[in-house]
């Protein structure tokens, strides 16, 4: 697309008596000029529109509307570029390889910490309601992260019996937590 310089625009200021004539003569050249300044069509269109709106407000006071419009488009473009340069772009979590739900600060919010600590306290209280053997199996499974087979070898219980006891222990803990309103 060939873009004309401001001094090459087809309309001379003296030839345009109304803002409509000026718009018809200078809109395309101004748009090309704004495009060169910004590199973005939609922004260039906005700048040209803003320049004409400003000219309309003071049309009778402007001696050389063509020059005034080019200067206004240039100033608006420079202002836009300055304001954009002040904005610091943050890379999104997906650009950094993190999932969308992750936040920059991995620590939970204070109210989330309190809820979590209350939940942990209630789980500990629920564990106290279990018999010693069930409590020990839960500890081996969830604290030491042992498999049923490893728990079986350590306790002398069969793998099936370990699973049975853990199932009922976890069910009892869930019922206790439901009574306290932690889970539904």
Tell the residue number behind the tokens 């529109």, with chain if given.
Answer: 49
Q: DSSP string of 51-90? A: HHHHHHHTGGG-S-HHHHHHHHHHHHHHHHHHHHHHSPPP
Using DSSP's 3-state secondary structure scheme, residue 118 falls into: helix
How confident is the model over 153-172, as pLDDT tens digits? 999 999 899 999 999 998 98
Query: Rounded to whole angstroms, how far apart are CA atoms 78 and 84?
Result: 10
Query: Rounded to whole angstroms, how far apart are CA atoms 119 and 143?
Result: 17
Kindly report the pTM of this predicted structure.
Answer: 0.42
Instruction: Flag whether pLDDT at 121 surpasses 80.
Output: yes
- Would you state the pLDDT for residue 100? 52
How confident is the model over 42-62, as pLDDT tens digits? 999 999 999 999 999 998 899
């Amino acid at each position: 697309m060939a873009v004309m310089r401001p001094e090459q625009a087809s309309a001379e200021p003296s030839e345009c008596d109304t803002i409509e004539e000026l718009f018809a003569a200078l809109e395309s050249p101004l748009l090309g000029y704004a495009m060169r300044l910004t590199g973005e069509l939609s922004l260039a269109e906005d700048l040209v529109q803003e320049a004409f709106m400003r000219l309309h407000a003071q049309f009778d006071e402007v001696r050389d509307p063509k020059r005034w419009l080019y200067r206004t488009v240039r100033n608006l473009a420079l202002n836009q570029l300055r304001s954009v340069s002040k904005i610091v772009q943050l890379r999104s979590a997906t650009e950094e390889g993190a999932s969308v739900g992750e936040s920059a600060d991995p620590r939970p919010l204070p109210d989330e910490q309190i809820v979590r600590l209350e939940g942990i306290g209630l789980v500990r209280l629920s564990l106290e309601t279990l018999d010693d053997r069930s409590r020990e199996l839960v500890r081996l499974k969830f604290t030491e992260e042992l498999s049923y087979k490893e728990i079986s070898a350590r306790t002398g219980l069969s793998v099936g019996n370990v699973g049975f006891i853990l199932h009922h222990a976890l069910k009892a803990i869930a019922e206790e937590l439901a009574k306290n309103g932690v889970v539904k």
